[in-house]
């Protein structure tokens, strides 16, 4: 079970990144193009929201079943950069990123008909994208 979840979590990251990047690009195009935020644009924002939430749930399960997760939080884990990444930095940044994506989408869905929905998604998803990119454990990123 652990190995399957680990692979799912690793490969779902590609979908999360693609969804968030597409959402940010569409939002920036709409924001700078002074277009009204439509229901179709709101649904495009779900491309970043849904995979991010799914990834978060799988990551949360992994955090408790993985030997790299909460079990690694022993006395000296803060001195080891790899342990610190898996126990603290990666989970914390991903939680913050998912919260930002959720806030951005929640604010945007109430702004259908205005241009501010694009602004909300662009800003919140953009910050979340930066957080995701800086705290992905690139040392174990699947390359195949």
Domain holding 77, by residue range, is 2-140
Q: What is the pLDDT of residues 87-101, one digit of tens each?
A: 888 899 999 999 999
**CA–CA separation, 121 vs 104, rounded Å?**
5
For residues 18 and 20, what is the distance between their CA atoms, to the nearest angstrom?
6
What value does the mean pLDDT take over residues 55-77? 81
Under a CB-based contact definition with an 8 Å cutoff, are residues 72 and 86 in contact?
yes
pLDDT score for 52: 96
Joined together, the tokens standing for residue 68 give 């790299």
34 φψ region: left (φ > 0), alpha (ψ -120 to 50), beta (else) = left
Confidence of residue 77 (pLDDT cuts 50, 70, 90): confident
Give the integer Cα–Cα distance in Å for 45 and 37. 11
Cα(18)–Cα(48) distance, integer angstroms = 8
Q: Give, in degrees to the nearest 5, the angle at Cα 133 between 129 and 134.
A: 120
Q: What is the pLDDT of residue 122?
A: 96
Give pLDDT, residue 80: 74
Cα of 38 vs its chain's centroid, Å? 23
Number of domains in the chain: 1
Residue 114, helix vs strand vs coil: coil
In terms of pTM, does the model score above 0.95? Answer: no
Average pLDDT over residues 115-136: 94
Tokens 């945007």 locate to 108
Sign of the dihedral through C-alpha 26, 142, 95, 127: negative
Contact partners, residue 136, CB within 8 Å, separation at least 6: 13, 90
The tokens for 79 are: 């001195």
């Amino acid at each position: 079970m652990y190995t399957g979840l680990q692979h799912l979590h690793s490969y779902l990251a590609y979908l999360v990144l693609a969804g968030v990047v597409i959402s940010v690009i569409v939002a920036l195009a709409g924001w700078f193009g002074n277009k009204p935020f439509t229901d179709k644009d709101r649904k495009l924002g779900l491309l970043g929201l849904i995979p991010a939430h799914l990834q978060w749930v799988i990551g949360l399960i992994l955090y408790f079943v993985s030997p790299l997760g909460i079990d690694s939080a022993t006395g000296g884990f803060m001195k080891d950069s790899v342990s610190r990444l898996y126990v603290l930095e990666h989970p914390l940044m991903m939680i913050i990123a998912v919260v930002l994506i959720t806030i951005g989408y929640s604010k945007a869905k109430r702004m259908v008909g205005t241009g501010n929905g694009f602004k909300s998604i662009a800003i919140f998803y953009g910050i979340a994208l930066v957080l995701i990119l800086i705290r992905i454990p690139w040392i174990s990123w699947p390359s195949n």
